[in-house]
Amino acid sequence: MKITILGSGTSQGIPIITCDCEVCRSTDARDKRLRTSILIEADGNTICIDAGPDFRYQMLRANVKKLDAILITHEHKDHIGGLDDARPLIFVQKKPMTIYASKEAQEEIKREYSYAFVNEDERYPGTPTFNLIDINGSPIRINNLTIEPIELRHFTLKSYAFRIGNFAYVTDLSELSEEAFNKLKGVEYLIIEALRKREHYSHINLSQAIEIAQRLNVKKTWFTHVSHEMGKTADVNPTLPENMMLAYDGLEIEI
């Protein structure tokens, strides 16, 4: 299984418009962060988790030629704002894009992209077509790939983590329930959000993410959904446990 970090930043990305902090002015490519998303290639399948406003550029940069499905963690704009840009893939593959999302996220997708859900005789030429499938806690099967969704709390919203075998992707959570923790047991490779060093009401911070990774006793951890408040990658990584590091855009992980 190959995992590519398409984006490792928060809803504003890094650099942030108008910001002149040292992180936003950094010349280190690892500090340039698009909105959070990953690409998974496994057993002939290619899937993407989340499709935010940077989706088009992320697909181009990763040279994606086909996409079997998009999994949505939750309905915030930085996770669904690029779904319209799936059109070229839809046209080439000659079928609607399969999107797995909660009922709540589906409602927001239908509102945001209402033109994609009109009757066939009312549809404007060239609009995208989506095949929405519920995430309800049951395993997701995409061809020969099995993915386990794990429900999270993201302040007042429901969000989902996704586990494939010994790998898990966990982002946009304010707390990790014991039920969710138990479903993550046995994971050896973990990508988990760490917004910044100080606390936040709807995201876990660096120390909380480290604690979760250590409790799970994973072999390797990468932190994503990183804000400019975290600091520069070159300064932060040396302070982390040996088996942990900040993720960065373009990072490829082979598991």
Per-residue pLDDT reduced to its tens digit, 168-220: 999 999 999 999 999 999 999 999 999 999 999 999 999 999 999 999 999 99
The number of domains in the chain is: 1
Average pLDDT over residues 19-41: 98
Phi and psi at 19, nearest 5°, equal -90, 135
Which has the higher per-residue pLDDT, 122 or 76?
76
pLDDT of amino acid 43: 93
Q: Among 36, 20, 25, which residue's Cα sits nearest to residue 247?
A: 36
pLDDT in tens, 31-40: 999 999 999 9
Q: Nearest 10 degrees: CA dihedral of 253, 86, 174, 181? A: -50
pLDDT of amino acid 124: 84
The DSSP call for residue 121 is: G
pLDDT of amino acid 46: 98
> Domain range holding 191?
2-254
pLDDT in tens, 131-151: 999 998 899 999 999 999 999
pLDDT of amino acid 149: 98
Residues whose CB falls within 8 Å of the CB of residue 253, separated by 6 or more in sequence, listed in order? 2, 3, 4, 5, 189, 222
How long a stretch of residues is the chain? Answer: 255
In the block, which residue shows the tokens 């709390």? 153
pLDDT score of 121 more than 90: no
Q: Among 142, 62, 63, 128, which residue's Cα sits nearest to residue 100?
A: 142
Type and span of the H or E element at 61: helix 55-61
Residues whose CB falls within 8 Å of the CB of residue 188, separated by 6 or more in sequence, listed in order? 166, 167, 218, 219, 220
pLDDT of amino acid 165: 97
Q: What is the CATH classification number for the domain harbouring 241?
A: 3.60.15.10
- The answer to whether 55 touches 86, Cβ cutoff 8 Å, is yes
How sure is the predictor about 79, in pLDDT bands with cuts at 50, 70 and 90?
very high
How sure is the predictor about 123, in pLDDT bands with cuts at 50, 70 and 90?
confident
Mean pLDDT of the chain: 97
- pLDDT > 90: what percent of the chain? 96
In the block, which residue shows the tokens 């984006």? 7
DSSP 123-158: PPTT---EEEEE--SSPEEETTEEEEEEEEEETTEE
The separation between the first and the last C-alpha atoms of the chain, rounded to the nearest angstrom, is 5
pLDDT score of 222 more than 90: yes
pLDDT in tens, 36-56: 999 999 999 999 999 999 999
Rounded to whole angstroms, how far apart are CA atoms 51 and 56? 9
